[in-house]
Chain A
């Protein structure tokens, strides 16, 4: 090979790198491990974590233990999908392109919106990009975000808004839901707002009255962004029927494991009128010269590799394989299955809430608010202590509200309570497991 190139040594290939920027020593990374040694080392590290095959989890707050059908992993592990790059050469990428088209179709069906993109990094960045879209579209720089939105999502929004010079204002909560009067007041102030961003079910698990809030926003010419849980949309009203202009959310629960917070996928759907502002990849249906149906990346004049600094966003790689998981999940579970997941979540969560609040000292922080699969409980002992005690019995009791401080003040702006536990109950939690949680709480001193 060297003689074909016309050099004497591999070193000659690097002679254009000036001596002063050369590395003068070997990389200090140790000797290469064999597969066998690697597996041993990685199993040791994996074994130092408390995983959900050993623990019964009632933790949620943006990452949920939903059931993943066995067939999903088989399909998503097809290496033709796994080892492909972005589908730039459509003729040899019809597999990925068609699955994205099917995914877009499912997301628009779930949300009752016109258009979906191919996915975003996660729910939080999808929300931040949606707010950007609204600011560009309305040419206003005030973004109103409900105080009941996940604190980490709001932290990401703060970063994204600062980048572009937008101003984020938090709409206060009243009784665990977005304060409608405050929305009206704030949307009317200071020349109006670009958008109103509301999450439902919100960070506390409570289902917000999106229709009323969005009507108020529209009355003041603000656009509306709904942040929703796709697992709830077999049961809860579609945001597209409640006046949402853009719908985003976290798609993790659609067939993706909790995986210490990633990789997940953000989904994003919008009304037709906003299509030219949509960030990211979009797949469209077309034909070849023999009239055969095929799929291509389309509307690329919005994107960075064509438009460079004039692009709607800088996103290129997204979360395609996670979107494939979502697509396969929704295919396997189907129309009736998704409703049943929702029905099970809501029943199991309410069963758990009823039993837990029957214990002395435990009560719902927002007793009148309707919830879906998650609820906030006031506890007689510090929530963190409850969590630690129950984890000794292989139960992860929920997310202690003050534990969010662990991720570096992420929960600073949320209502942080030492004696508050956010409990999530998905369709995966059996009655027996819920009863065990209740017994364990009962046994605490």
Chain B
């Protein structure tokens, strides 16, 4: 099943939307602008009726897996259910139709929401203040690392403290973010329990260390029990500790990054706080800091005066500046705050159930696959398809594709890089035991199939709109846009 491109549905003269009436004389733009500034050839946009446009995109939507379609155990992405009331709330005109430059008197509700969301995030993480400006997790990393950079610069160590330490299990964004912030990246190995190797870490310390980026629980879904020692090692060397909040869904109400010793934290509201991911955004990646780093936060922050009026605070002279126009992905902030209000202190149960669900699926699957780190996991775990690969020539990719035939999204595969044939599974707290059982049975069946009928797996998926696509060809001869047939 394929769908025509919207351009292929186009016929001259058709239009899918009406415009406001021409209630004043509409002159040709050349009456106002010199000819040289005007367009000669109209852009090749499609011309389609409303019904054809609606059907085109509706058909496309049906060729897409989302949380509302089925189980989505994509590790590290926290694909939990997105409550519909949050969508309704965010669409209220009082949130969606306010202009960013309306004065504070006309935006008290928006400012209150930002202020209270910040307070909630501080409580959940144990940090002093948050900026809500970053638009995504990687943008949060960028912001947090610039705060670290500015902090060292303010202490006249900006040129010497150039190294950011990143574990070998880290998300790819960590080293990429550190690089675009102008840092050098140093890798630290994991120990046999999947945590940071303390001896290796100590060896890296010196006057050139700017900080360490850590996800805890880490990308193996394991809590690093040495976190307090790690924090001491970094702080004694004069560095700062950065918390990648991708895995916060495991620890809300249980352990706070601020109490673990982290100086900077980013959260992914589109993961932990149930805002939908939209097929690749918009997300939101607020950044929280301890007191000593507050002056470096991007401006403006929202303040509250003695009369409970909300306002934008003055820029601090030490601020890193702005990382985005206006104040952040406000519509996403609204949904996240609505989620926090509907959970309240029971966010702790969210984390408990997320961890329970992950351990349950792990228990059901661990005899069928290799398990590189056999420990109680947190909200996710990593299996290896090494056995299937070695014995039957079936790769993790084959198994991931076969899962699609069962109506599930695949886990995160080939990540973290320190596990061969990795499959990272994160069920989240919002799934029922029936769903977890059905998924586990599908995985077990795939493990059996890999021995009995490996061809099934090489050929998968067969029930999806298209089969396995030629990615090599796509990269070698890039076709990145539609072009009109000559």
In whole angstroms, what is the CA distance A132 to B401 when docked?
37
Shortest distance from the beta carbon of A149 to any chain B beta carbon, whole Å? 11
Given A80-B69, A84-B279, do A406 and B315 touch, yes or no (CB 8 Å)?
no
Is A289 at the interface (CB under 8 A from chain B)?
A: yes
B364 an interface residue at 8 Å Cβ cutoff?
A: yes
Query: Cβ of A292 and Cβ of B467 under 8 Å apart?
Result: yes
B238 at the interface (CB under 8 A from A): no
Q: Which residues of B from 55 to 76 have beta carbons under 8 Å from A?
A: 56-58, 60-69, 72, 74
Q: B58 contacts A75, CB within 8 Å? A: yes
For B109, give its contact among A47, A74, A106, A283 (CB under 8 Å): A47
In this complex, which of B72, B329, B342 has the most chain A Cβ atoms within 10 angstroms of its Cβ? Answer: B329
Whole-angstrom distance between the alpha carbons of A99 and B62 in the complex? 12
Kindly supply a per-residue 1/0 record for chain A positions 372-414, scoring 1 wherever the CB is within 8 Å of any chain B CB and 0 otherwise: 1000000000000001100100001001000110111110000
A204 CB-CB contact with B under 8 Å? no
**Complex contact B123–A27 (CB within 8 A):** yes
Give the residues from 298 to 322 in chain A that come closer than 8 angstroms, CB to CB, to chain B: 298-301, 304-311, 313-322
A86–B429 CA distance with the chains assembled, in angstroms: 21
- Assess whether B324 is in contact with A46, with CB atoms less than 8 Å apart: no
Identify the stretch in A182-190, A213-221, A341-349 within 8 Å (CB) of chain B at 4 or more residues: A341-349
> What residues on A are CB-neighbors of B58 within 8 Å?
75, 78
Within 157-202 of B, Cβ neighbours of A (below 8 Å) are at 171-173, 175-182, 185
Cβ of B236: which chain A residues have Cβ within 8 Å of it? none
Residue ID in chain A nearest B460 by CB atoms = A91
The answer, yes or no, to whether B112 is at the interface (CB within 8 Å) is: yes
Determine whether B97 belongs to the interface, using a CB cutoff of 8 Å to chain A. yes
Given the known inter-chain contacts A83-B277, A322-B281, please indicate yes or no for A155 contacting B29, CB distance below 8 A: no
Measured between beta carbons, the chain A residues less than 8 angstroms from B149 are: 163
Would A293 and B375 count as touching, CB distance under 8 A?
Answer: no
Are B94 and A317 in contact, with the CB atoms below 8 A? no
User: CB distance B48 to A288 under 8 Å?
Assistant: no
Question: Which residues of chain B are within 8 angstroms of A250 by Cβ–Cβ distance?
Answer: 325
B352 to chain A, nearest CB (A): 5
Task: Find the residue from B66, B72, B149, B315 having the highest chain A CB count within 10 A.
Answer: B66
Contact A92 B100 (CB under 8 A): no
Contact status B321-A85, CB under 8 Å: no
CB-based contact B54/A21 at 8 Å: no
Could you tell me how many residues of chain B have their Cβ less than 8 Å away from some Cβ of chain A? 196
The answer to the question of B485 belonging to the interface, with a C-beta cut-off of 8 Å to chain A, is no
- Binary contact readout A101-130 vs B (1 if CB under 8 angstroms, 0 otherwise): 110111011101001101101111100000
For the complex, what is the distance from the CA of A115 to the CA of B341, rounded to whole Å? 43
A330 touches B281 (CB 8 A): no
Q: Is the interface of B mostly helix, strand, loop or mixed?
A: loop
In the assembled complex, the Cα of A44 lies from the Cα of B364 at a distance in Å of 47
Q: Looking at the complex, which one of A153, A262, A338, A431 makes contact with B328 (CB distance below 8 Å)?
A: A262
Q: Is B452 an interface residue (CB 8 A)?
A: no
Q: Is B399 an interface residue (CB 8 A)?
A: no
Partner of A263, one of B22, B101, B178, B282: B282
A243 to B400, CA, bound (A): 46
Interface assignment of B343: CB less than 8 Å from any CB of chain A: yes
The answer on a CB contact under 8 Å between B341 and A13 is no
A316-B43 in contact given A35-B85, A284-B474, A344-B19 (Cβ < 8 Å): no
B304 within 8 A of partner (CB): no
Whether A51 lies near B98 (C-beta < 8 A) is: yes
> Contacts of B223 on A, CB cut-off 8 Å?
16-17
A5, CB-defined interface residue at 8 Å: yes
Within 8 A of B (CB), among A345-359: 346-348, 350-351
Total count of chain A residues near the partner, CB < 8 A = 208
Which residues on the B side are within 8 Å of A78 (C-beta)?
57-58, 61
- One of B252, B280, B467 near A96 (C-beta < 8 A): B280
In angstroms, Cα B348 to Cα A26, docked, is: 8
Chain B CB within 8 A of A175 CB:
no
Q: Are A299 and B478 in contact (CB under 8 A)?
A: yes
- The answer to whether A324 and B279 have CB atoms under 8 Å apart is yes
Residues of A within 8 A of B182 (CB): 163-165
Chain B hits for A38, CB < 8 A? 85, 89, 338, 341-342
Given contacts A49-B106, A71-B17, A431-B24, contact A57 B99 (CB under 8 A): yes
Docked-complex contact A259 and B467, CB < 8 angstroms: no
Residues of chain B lying within 8 A (CB to CB) of residue A346: 29, 32-33
Q: Mark B457-486, 1 if CB is under 8 A from A, else 0.
A: 000010011111111011100111110000
Q: Which of B68-105 contact A (CB under 8 A)?
A: 68-69, 72, 74, 77, 79, 82, 85, 87-89, 92-104
Contacts of B37 in A (CB 8 A): 207, 209, 236-237, 370
Are A284 and B480 in contact, CB atoms less than 8 angstroms apart? yes
The verdict on A314 contacting B465 (CB below 8 Å), with A17-B254, A53-B97 known, is no
Q: Which chain B residues lie closer than 8 Å to A132 at the CB level?
A: 180
In the bound complex, what is the Cα–Cα distance between A12 and B355 (angstroms)? 11
Q: Which B residues are in CB contact (< 8 Å) with A396?
A: 99, 102
How far does the alpha carbon of A372 sit from the alpha carbon of B39 in the complex, in Å? 13
Bound-complex Cα distance A234 to B433 (A): 54
CB of B346 within 8 A of chain A? yes
Pick from A17, A81, A100: contact of B255, CB under 8 Å? A17
Q: Which A residue sits closest to B478, measured CB to CB?
A: A284
Check A330 against B45 for contact (C-beta < 8 Å). yes
Q: Is the CB of A289 within 8 A of B82?
A: no
Cα distance A270–B388 in the bound complex, in angstroms: 44
Q: Which residues of B contact A116 (CB under 8 A)?
A: 480-481
Interface residue? B392 (CB, 8 A): no
Among the 9-residue stretches B135-143, B286-294, B442-450, the one with 4 or more Cβ atoms under 8 Å from chain A is B135-143
Q: Which of A60-68, A191-199, A437-445 contacts B (4 or more CB under 8 A)?
A: A60-68
Q: Is B176 a contact partner of A309 (Cβ separation < 8 A)?
A: yes
Q: Are A22 and B254 in contact (CB under 8 A)?
A: yes
A19 → chain B closest CB, angstroms: 10
Q: In the complex, how many angstroms separate the beta carbon of B108 from the nearest chain A beta carbon?
A: 5
Contacts of B175 in A (CB 8 A): 304, 308-309
> Does B209 make an interface contact (CB < 8 A)?
no
Nearest CB of chain A from residue B470's CB, rounded to whole Å:
5
| Given A314-B138, A334-B17, A338-B43, 6 other A-B residues pairs in contact with their CB atoms under 8 A | A32-B345, A62-B325, A69-B50, A71-B53, A85-B277, A85-B280
23 A-B contacts, Cβ less than 8 Å apart? A1-B360, A13-B352, A16-B376, A21-B261, A29-B347, A42-B95, A45-B94, A48-B108, A51-B93, A69-B18, A85-B279, A89-B400, A91-B404, A92-B461, A101-B5, A237-B37, A258-B98, A258-B99, A259-B95, A287-B470, A289-B467, A334-B48, A335-B47
